Chains A and B, each alone.
Chain A
Amino acid sequence: KAGVTQTPRYLIKTRGQQVTLSCSPISGHRSVSWYQQTPGQGLQFLFEYFSETQRNKGNFPGRFSGRQFSNSRSEMNVSTLELGDSALYLCASSWGGAGRTDTQYFGPGTRLTVL
């Protein structure tokens, strides 16, 4: 079974631009979560989607948004990029049906560099 895929793997943008990252979950998984990983802050939760509905949201500004499609694929968008948005963005998928006991499986991440 194929794992979680994320595209693109690397991205370079300049301040003020916007970016869209894509995540395809493991087949059969209906829940997708997004995390931002930086050396200083570690792994921080962005949001979680289940069956096209946002189920949880972390403490990030409104510039960070996401959505999930009917095939469970998810995208996250960051508008008006800032230097501090440079990070590894990780997507994780889980079945969604087991709720809190679900295991999240991570993709390889998208490395975003903002210049």
Chain B
Amino acid sequence: AQSVAQPEDQVNVAEGNPLTVKCTYSVSGNPYLFWYVQYPNRGLQFLLKYITGDNLVKGSYGFEAEFNKSQTSFHLKKPSALVSDSALYFCAVRDGDSGYSTLTFGKGTMLLVSP
């Protein structure tokens, strides 16, 4: 079975500072990894994904994520946080070797960026 852990329920950061939202995963085959963001009363918006290739993936709104196979991690990062980045962030994994595998989400991490 595949799973995702987001160890922090909430991350607090000051505007202008770098931010990191942590994600670790467990999957039997090759991991396909995704990050989504959810604003209040909205659906999830796709930020970026890792399928193969370069371990550093760049996505929307200045976000990037680093895939680390040995640590089974896929942390989301941004060099300089904005107040408007405050939202709920979800990491998700799919088994790349398992037929029509489903997407499994973590519990989410609330990011609060203070002015």
Contacts and interface: CB of A to CB of B under 8 A. Distances in A.
Interface residues of A, number: 24
A107 B46 contact: no
A42 B102 contact: no
Contact of A100 (B32, B42, B44, B46): B32
Interface residues of B, number: 25
A7 interface: no
A1 B12 CA distance: 35
Interface residue SS majority, chain A: strand
Contact of A101 (B51, B100, B104): B51
A81 interface: no
A109 B43 contact: yes
A42 B108 contact: yes
Contact of A48 (B46, B90, B102, B108): B102
Given A100-B95, A101-B51, A106-B36, A45 B103 contact: yes
Contact of B103 (A33, A99, A105, A109): A33
B43 A108 contact: yes
A112 to B, nearest CB: 14
Interface of B: 32, 34, 36, 41-46, 49, 51, 90, 94-96, 98, 100-108
Given A42-B105, A100-B95, A103-B46, 6 more contacts: A42-B107, A90-B44, A99-B100, A100-B100, A106-B44, A109-B43
